[in-house]
Amino acid sequence: MTSSPLSPAPLRVGIVGTGYAGTTAGEAYRAIPGVEVVAVAGKEADRLAALAAAWDVADVYPDWEAIVARDDIDIVSVATPNALHDVISIAALRSGKHVFCEKPLAITSEAARAMVAAATENDRVLEVAFNHRRRADVQWAHRYLEETGVGRIYHARASWKRRSGIPGLTSWFTSRDLAGGGALIDLGPHVIDSLLYLMGEPRVVAVSAVAHGELGRAGYGAMDNREQMAGSGRFEVEDLVSALLRLENGASVALEISWAGHTADDEDISIELLGVDGGLRLFVPRYKPQDTLWVYRQDAGAPVTMRPAVTVPGGEHGLVITEFIDVVRSGDWTGHHGEFALHRTEIIDACYRSAAEGKEVTL
């Protein structure tokens, strides 16, 4: 069932997944008036019981199918390993529910297209948790580029680099079947989304990429060094991807995403836009909340550097959930069927194919 924009009936949410993503989404839903978390599904019984108690949720399930089958739930929030995103989302959309899905949309372009098709055919909202674009510094940069600009952007550099940032060397994150990939599919969606958002949503038409998994296989790079190569010791994905993206407007992007490296980079996110009339850099070391922006121009023939004073208050996860609820309540869901998230998945998919085939891949 779906509440109309004027209906006083609350929106009822079922959450699938009890990890960090599911918990964060649940807290965000609970903070919005007129939204109720009424069911949670997850495999970890202890965690499931703890969330049910904390959120006063009576209905908990070990499997997601029970939530999708209920006709009194408006929204399904998907916070599972990547390989389950399409299966759960498509079932929920076909049952008439709106879906909020953690990134990435899916692990393959084919699966992502099927999700968008299900959302379109059933006219339900399909939103993806791209919360980084909601940072205050990214929003400032977006306004600056729209209002002032830096001329035609002909090249960009974008990266997310970690020194020791593999989220569990033997967890589902390092399983190819469950995650679909490693660093690129984990961190890449946020970087690519923010980059395309700032550049005005140009289409990527070709990619040439390489991928490496040397450090993970050697036992380096875990977030918690005490757990390095614990358990099975299986590391099936990449810990670094480097790619050149060609855009439809003739511009290019140098992209580098890494979970681990013997470098000075610790937890550093960077986007640098090179325009004909100026440049803009966003550099965020360890999620720093201020002093993250630079603007480069020429004034009276001399180089000028500006440092906009923007503070990031946090709360981006809550913002993206609030925006999702606003769209659902609006009743106008045109353009909210996951279309823009699909292109991000197509780019990541093409990077993996290029790295595997050793040649440039066109989209």
The answer to whether residues 60 and 44 touch, using CB atoms and an 8 Å cutoff, is no
Phi, psi of 223 (to 5 degrees): -60, -40
Q: Where along the chain do the CATH 3.30.360.10 domains lie?
A: 136-313
Which string of b and e fits 178-199 if b means at least 16 CB within 10 Å?
bbbbbbbbbbbbbbbbbbbbbb
Q: List the CATH code of the domain at 11-131.
A: 3.40.50.720
- Summarised one tens digit per residue, pLDDT across range 300-346 is 999 999 999 999 999 999 999 999 999 999 999 999 999 999 999 99
Q: Where along the chain do the CATH 3.40.50.720 domains lie?
A: 11-131
Report pLDDT for 34: 97
- Cα–Cα distance between 48 and 51 in angstroms, integer? 5
- The pTM of the full predicted model, rounded to 2 decimals, is 0.93
Report pLDDT for 5: 44
Per-residue pLDDT of the chain (363 residues; tens, 9 = 90+): 444 444 457 999 999 999 999 999 999 999 999 999 999 999 989 999 999 999 999 999 999 999 999 999 999 999 999 999 999 999 999 999 999 999 999 999 999 999 999 999 999 999 999 999 999 999 999 999 999 999 999 999 999 999 999 988 778 899 999 999 999 999 999 999 999 999 999 999 999 999 999 999 998 999 875 444 444 457 999 999 999 999 999 999 999 999 999 999 999 999 999 999 999 999 999 999 999 999 999 999 999 999 999 999 999 999 999 999 999 999 999 999 999 999 999 999 999 999 999 999 999
DSSP helix/strand/coil, 287: coil
Report pLDDT for 1: 47
Report pLDDT for 171: 83
The answer to whether residues 77 and 22 touch, using CB atoms and an 8 Å cutoff, is yes
H or E stretch including 26? helix 20-30
DSSP helix/strand/coil, 206: strand
Phi, psi of 277 (to 5 degrees): -105, -5
- Cα–Cα distance between 126 and 119 in angstroms, integer? 6
Q: List the CATH code of the domain at 136-313.
A: 3.30.360.10
Report pLDDT for 234: 78
